[in-house]
Amino acid sequence: MEKRIELEKRGRNPADITEFVLDNCRSTNIVGLTDEFVALKSLSLINVGLTSLKGFPVLPNLRKLELSDNRISGGLNFLLSSPKLTHLNLSGNKIKDLETLQPLKEFQNLKSLDLFNNEATDMDNYREKVFGLIPSLRYLDGYDMDDCEIEDSEGNEEGSEDEEVNGNDDGDDDANEDDSEGDSDDRSDDDDKDLNEDEVCLDINDSDDEEYGEEEEEDDDDDDDDADDYQDRQDADDGSAVEESSPARGKKRKHEDGSEPGN
């Protein structure tokens, strides 16, 4: 057992270990498991070959103890050094009578006890006697006082608590925050893209307006030049510059100030 304990420690400080599995390590008594494991909450010693619990360490935080398939016939008083014990599995051992179970009545937090495949289960009114012996007990051999089987939620109670302690929900929150940040970045990129397109359109429109204005000015200049050329030809042809030029000048004045000549 000592070699197995060193192997399972994996270089960790005993005071930091909360769960320890020593199944099938083969030993008749507790050796190498010391009081240093003060943080231990779950201990499994299945099929080790234990005949006695003498030397069981002081484990003040132990809640779950697996001792099934051993050869334990007594000495349950050695477990009283773990007052927070809530789950105890003694199935497949050598417990014969109610007297052997007497130390268990001291446990105020013991909720589940398994004595399956022990001779004690053959005594008269076995279930009533054990439930009467341990007031805190809720499940015996997987069933409550009304012979209703233990619910999954009860069996997985400790696992759920561990998940909450480890903070699994934080990973979802971080993922949601990352998604919202990603969406904000995408929206910002789209907005910048639309803004750039609007600026391009405005530049094009401004450019078109400028070109259009230049074309109008050129057209006005051409019209003025054509009018002057026409007037010069008229004056040269018939020599009546005053009479023939008046309509042209009148049109020009009308075009400039909007008034009829002589008014």
Query: The whole model's pTM is what?
Result: 0.60
* CA 207/CA 203 separation, integer angstroms: 6
Single-letter amino acid, residue 150: I
Q: Which two tokens stand for residue 24?
A: 């099938």
The arithmetic mean of pLDDT across residues 147-153, rounded, is 79
Q: Which two tokens stand for residue 77?
A: 């008083």
Judge whether 104 and 134 are in contact, CB under 8 Å: yes
Q: Is the pLDDT of residue 247 over 50?
A: no
In the structure, what pLDDT confidence band is assigned to residue 151 with cuts at 50, 70 and 90?
confident
Taking only the tens place, the pLDDT of each residue in 7-27 is 999 999 999 999 999 999 999
Residue 44 has what pLDDT?
Answer: 98
Q: Is the pLDDT of residue 148 over 70?
A: yes
Q: Is the pLDDT of residue 261 over 50?
A: no
Per the model's pLDDT, the better-predicted residue between 190 and 20 turns out to be 20
Judge whether 45 and 22 are in contact, CB under 8 Å: yes
Which residues 6+ apart lie within 8 Å of 41 measured at CB? Answer: 18, 19, 61, 62, 63, 64, 158
Residue 82 has what pLDDT?
Answer: 97
Q: Which two tokens stand for residue 253?
A: 């004045």
**Cα-atom radius of gyration of the chain, to the nearest Å?**
50
Residue 40 has what pLDDT?
Answer: 97
Average pLDDT value for the chain: 75
Sheet strands (E) in the chain? 19-21, 42-44, 64-66, 87-89, 112-114, 139-140
Judge whether 65 and 79 are in contact, CB under 8 Å: yes
Q: Which two tokens stand for residue 221?
A: 């200049």
Q: In the block, which residue shows the tokens 């007037």?
A: 231
In the structure, what pLDDT confidence band is assigned to residue 32 with cuts at 50, 70 and 90?
very high
Residue 191 has what pLDDT?
Answer: 52
Residue 150 has what pLDDT?
Answer: 82
Taking only the tens place, the pLDDT of each residue in 123-144 is 999 999 999 999 999 999 999 9
Judge whether 30 and 56 are in contact, CB under 8 Å: yes
* CA 22/CA 73 separation, integer angstroms: 20
Which residues 6+ apart lie within 8 Å of 134 measured at CB? Answer: 104, 105, 107, 110, 113
Residue 232 has what pLDDT?
Answer: 54
Pairing of strands 42-44, 87-89: unpaired
If we measure between CA atoms, which residue out of 164, 161, 44, 157 comes closest to residue 111?
A: 157
Which residues 6+ apart lie within 8 Å of 141 measured at CB? Answer: 91, 113, 114, 115, 116, 121
The arithmetic mean of pLDDT across residues 174-197, rounded, is 50
Taking only the tens place, the pLDDT of each residue in 210-230 is 444 444 444 555 555 555 555
